[in-house]
Structure 1
Amino acid sequence: MSTDIRRVGVVGGGQMGAGIAEVCARAGLDTVVCEADDMAARAARKRVAASLDRAVRRGKLNQEVAEDALGHLVFTSGLERLADRQLVIEAIIENPEAKNELFAALDKIVTAPSAILASNTSAIPIMSLGMATGRADRVVGLHFFNPVPVLPLVEVVTSLHTAPDTVATVEAFVTTTLGKTVIHAQDRAGFVVNALLIPYLLAAVRMAESGLATASDIDTGMELGCAHPMGPLKLADLIGLDTVASIAVSLYDEFKEPLYAPPPLLQRMVAAGLLGRKTGRGFHVYDGAR
Structure 2
Amino acid sequence: MFVQNIRNICVVGAGQMGHQIGMLCALGGYETVIVDVNEDALKKADTLLQSIMEKWVTKGKISEDAKDAAFSRLQFKTDLEDAATNADLVIEAVVEKLDVKRELFAKLDKITPSHAILVSNSSTIVNSLIADVTNRADKVCNMHFFYPPLVMDCVEVVMSDKTSDETAQTTMNVCKQIGRTGVLLRKEISGFIANRILGALQREAVHLYESGIADYKDIDVICRKALNHPIGPFELMDLSGIDVGYFVMQQRYAETGDPQDKPAACIEEKVKAGHLGRKTGKGFYDYAKEGVKN
Q: TM-score, normalised by structure 1?
A: 0.94
**Partner residue of 2:110?**
108
SS in structure 1 at match of 2:17: helix
Aligned to 1:14: 15
RMSD over aligned CA atoms reads 1.6
Q: Give the conservation status (yes or no) of the 8 Å contact 2:120–2:143.
A: yes
* CA deviation vs aligned residue, 1:154-176 (integer Å, no higher than 9, x gap): 0011112111111111111112x
Could you give the per-residue CA deviations for residues 237-290 of structure 1, whole angstroms, max 9, x where no partner exists? 11111111111222233334443221111011011111111111111122326x
Matched with 1:169 is 170
Question: Following TM superposition, by how much is the alpha carbon of 1:62 offset from its aligned partner in structure 2, in angstroms?
Answer: 3.0
2: distance between equivalents of 1:46 and 1:18? 10
Q: Deviations over 1:78-112 (max 9, x none)?
A: 0112101100100000011111111011111112x
- Determine the structure 1 residue equivalent to 2:291: 288
Question: Partner residue of 1:178?
Answer: 178
CA contact (8 A) 1:199 1:259 kept: no
Separation (CA, whole Å) in 1 of partners of 2:8 and 2:135: 21
In structure 2, distance between residues paired with 1:256 and 1:183:
29
Partner in structure 2 of residue 87 of structure 1: 89
C-alpha distance in structure 2 between counterparts of 1:90 and 1:149, whole Å: 17
CA offset digits 1:29-73 (Å, max 9, x no partner)? 100010113222222212222222233344433333222221211
Aligned counterparts of 2:256 and 2:159: Cα–Cα separation in 1:
19
Q: How many angstroms apart in 2 are the aligned matches of 1:53 and 1:269?
A: 34
CA contact (8 A) 1:8 1:88 kept: yes
The 5 Å alignment of 1:225-236 reads 225-236=226-237
Structure 1 residue runs of 5 or longer lacking an equivalent are none
Structure 1 residue 70 corresponds to structure 2 residue 71: yes
Contact 2:172 2:184 in 1 (8 A): no
Question: Post-superposition shift, 1:213?
Answer: 1.7
Distance in 2, matches of 1:89 and 1:227, equals 33
| Distance across 2 between alignment mates of 1:274 and 1:205 | 16
Aligned counterparts of 1:7 and 1:61: Cα–Cα separation in 2 = 23
1:264 aligns with 2:274: no
Contact preservation (8 Å) 2:10, 2:90: yes
Post-superposition offset of 1:199: 2.3
TM-score, with normalisation over the residues of structure 2? 0.93
C-alpha change, 1:3 and 1:68, in structure 2 (3 Å) is closer
| Kept after mapping to 1: 8 A contact 2:97/2:251 | no
Tell me if structure 1 keeps the 8 A contact 2:139–2:167: yes
220 and 108 in structure 1: CA distance in 2 versus 1, 3 angstrom threshold:
same
| Counterpart in the other structure of 1:128 | 129
Which piece of structure 1 moves more, 252-261 or 90-99?
252-261
Residue pair 1:6, 1:30 contacting (<8 A) in 2 also: yes
Q: Please state whether the residue corresponding to 2:11 is helix, strand or coil.
A: strand
Greater alpha carbon shift after TM alignment, 275-284 vs 57-66: 57-66
Question: Offset at 1:121?
Answer: 0.5
| Contact residue 9 and residue 34 of structure 1 kept, 8 A | yes
Match of 1:99 in 2: 101
CA distance in 1, matches of 2:253, 2:270: 19
Q: Secondary structure at the match of 1:15?
A: coil
Q: Deviations over 1:144-202 (max 9, x none)?
A: 00110111100011112111111111111112x11211222332210111111112112
2:195 is aligned to 194
**Which position in structure 2 is the counterpart of 1:243?**
244
Whichever residue aligns with residue 79 of structure 1, its letter is: L
Check the 8 A contact 1:124/1:250 in 2, yes or no. Answer: yes
Instruction: Determine if contact 1:11/1:34 at 8 Å carries over to the other structure.
Output: yes
CA contact (8 A) 1:189 1:250 kept: no
- Deviation string for 1:220-242 (max 9, x for gaps)? 11101011111111111111111
Q: Is the contact between residue 86 and residue 112 of structure 2 (CA under 8 Å) also seen in structure 1? A: yes
